Structure 1
Amino acid sequence: MIQKLSANSNVQARVRVILVEDDFDLRQGLTDFLRLNSLAVTSVGNGAEFNRALGTETFDIAVIDLNLPDTSGFEIARFLTRTTNIGIIILTARTLRDDKVRGYAEGANLYLTKPVDGEELVFAIRNLAARLKQAGEISKASVQPTTSWIVDRVAQSLISPPGAAVKLSGREAKFLVRLAEEKGRTVSRAELFRAMGYQEWTAQTRGLDAVLRRLRVKVRDAGMDLPVHAVHAAGFHFAGEIIVK
Structure 2
Amino acid sequence: MEEKDSILIVDDDPEIRRLLVDYLVRNGFKAVAARDGREMWRELERHAIDLIVLDLMLPDADGLTLCRDIGMKSNIPVLMLTACGEEADRIVGIEMGADDYLVKPFNPRELLARIKRILSRTRALPPNLRPETARYLKFAGWCLDTATRLLVDEQGVTTPLSGAEYRLLRILADHPNRVLNRNQLIELIHGRDAGPYDRAIDVQISRLRQRLRDDSKEPSLIKTVRNEGYVLASAIEKSHSPT
State the TM-score bracket (shorter-chain normalisation): 0.5 to 0.7
Aligned to 1:90: 80
Count how many residue pairs are aligned between Structure 1 and Structure 2.
149
1:112 to 99, 102, 116: 102
Q: Could you tell me how far apart the structure 2 residues matched to 1:123 and 1:71 are?
A: 27
- How far off is 1:83 after superposition? 2.0
Shift of residue 56, structure 1, vs aligned partner: 2.5
Tell me the distance in 1 between the aligned counterparts of 2:123 and 2:26.
Answer: 22
1:25 aligned to 15, 26, 39, which one?
A: 15
In the alignment, structure 1 segments of 5+ residues that lack a partner are: 1-8, 146-152, 160-169, 171-242
**1:15·1:126 contact (CA, 8 Å) conserved in 2?**
no
- Structure 1 residue aligned with 2:192: none
Partner of 2:60: 70
**Inter-partner Cα distance in structure 1 for 2:115 and 2:33:** 15
Deviations along 1:141-183, whole A, 9 cap, x unmatched?
52269xxxxxxx8336359xxxxxxxxxx7xxxxxxxxxxxxx
The match for 1:55 is: 45
Q: Distance in 2 between matches of 1:110 and 1:102?
A: 11
Are the structure 2 counterparts of residues 94 and 14 from structure 1 closer, same or farther at C-alpha, using a change threshold of 3 Å? Answer: same
Going from structure 1 to structure 2, the CA distance change for 1:142 and 1:34 (only over 3 Å counts) comes to: same
Amino acid at match of 1:121: L
Query: Is the CA contact 2:4–2:28 (under 8 Å) kept in the aligned structure 1?
Result: no
Name the SS of the counterpart of 1:132 in structure 2: helix
SS of aligned partner of 1:71? coil
Whichever of the two has the greater Rg, that structure is 1
Q: CA deviation at 1:122?
A: 0.8
TM-score normalised to structure 2 length: 0.54
The share of aligned pairs that are identical, in percent, is 26
Aligned positions of 1:6-45 closer than 5 A: 10=2, 13-45=3-35
In the alignment, does 2:120 pair up with 1:130?
Answer: yes
Q: Report the aligned-residue RMSD.
A: 3.0
Shift of residue 18, structure 1, vs aligned partner: 0.9
Q: Give the whole-Å Cα distance in 2 for the aligned partners of 1:32 and 1:62.
A: 16
Moved over 6 A (4+): none
1:181 aligns to what? none
Give the Cα–Cα distance (whole angstroms) in 1 for the partners of residues 55 and 88 of structure 2. Answer: 16
- The one-letter amino acid paired with 1:42 is V
Superposition TM-score, scaled by structure 1 size: 0.54
Q: Which residue identity is paired with 1:69?
A: P
Unaligned runs of 5+ in 2: 136-142, 150-159, 161-240
